[in-house]
C-alpha cells in the first residue's frame, strides 16, 4: 500500500509498483479538502488571498493558508508578494499547476455527469 503523506512515498512501494507511482504522486499533490477547488479557481487567473477566501466561505484562514503553502511547496502554485502597504500577495498557477488543469477539468466533467444533481436535472 502506498504511503500518502507530506514526506513522500514508501520506497518499497515505489520499487514494487512502478506502474502506479504516477497516480499516487498526483493523489499526494491534490490531497486536501480544498486544493482541487483552489486550482480550478486559479485557472481563471491570479487571485489574492481574500478572493480565494470569499470562494471558500467555510474554510478557516489557517486551513486556507495551509492548503496554499502545501500547493506552493509542491510547486503547483506561485506566491508573489508586492512591496506595498498593506502587502499585496497574489497566487497563481505555475507550469506544473497548469499541467494539472486537465485533471481538474476531467474531475469536473465526471462530477457533472454522475452527481446526484446532474441526475435530477435530466
Query: Residue ranges of the domains in the chain?
Result: 1-31, 33-120
pLDDT of residue 3: 44
The percent of residues above 70 in pLDDT, for the chain, comes to 85
- Say if residue 20's pLDDT is above 80: no
Distance between first and last Cα of the chain: 39
Please state which CATH number belongs to domain 33-120: 1.10.10.10
Query: Which residue, among 41, 98, 102, has the nearest Cα to 67 in the 3D structure?
Result: 41
Q: What string of DSSP letters covers 22-41?
A: HHHHHHHHH-STTHHHHHHH
pLDDT digits (tens, 9 = 90+) for 63-106: 999 999 999 999 999 999 998 888 899 999 999 999 999 999 99
Q: Per DSSP, what are the bridge partners of residue 93?
A: 77
Amino acid at each position: 500500500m502506498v504511503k500518502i503523506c507530506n514526506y513522500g512515498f514508501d520506497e518499497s512501494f515505489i520499487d514494487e509498483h512502478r506502474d502506479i507511482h504516477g497516480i499516487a504522486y498526483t493523489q499526494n499533490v491534490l490531497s486536501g479538502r480544498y486544493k482541487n477547488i483552489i486550482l480550478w479557481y486559479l485557472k481563471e487567473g491570479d487571485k489574492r488571498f481574500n478572493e480565494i477566501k470569499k470562494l471558500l466561505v467555510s474554510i478557516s484562514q489557517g486551513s486556507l493558508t495551509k492548503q496554499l503553502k502545501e500547493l506552493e511547496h509542491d510547486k503547483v502554485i506561485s506566491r508573489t508578494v508586492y512591496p506595498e502597504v498593506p502587502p499585496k500577495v497574489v497566487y497563481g498557477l505555475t507550469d506544473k499547476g497548469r499541467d494539472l488543469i486537465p485533471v481538474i477539468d476531467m474531475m469536473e466533467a465526471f462530477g457533472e455527469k454522475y452527481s446526484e444533481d446532474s441526475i435530477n436535472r435530466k
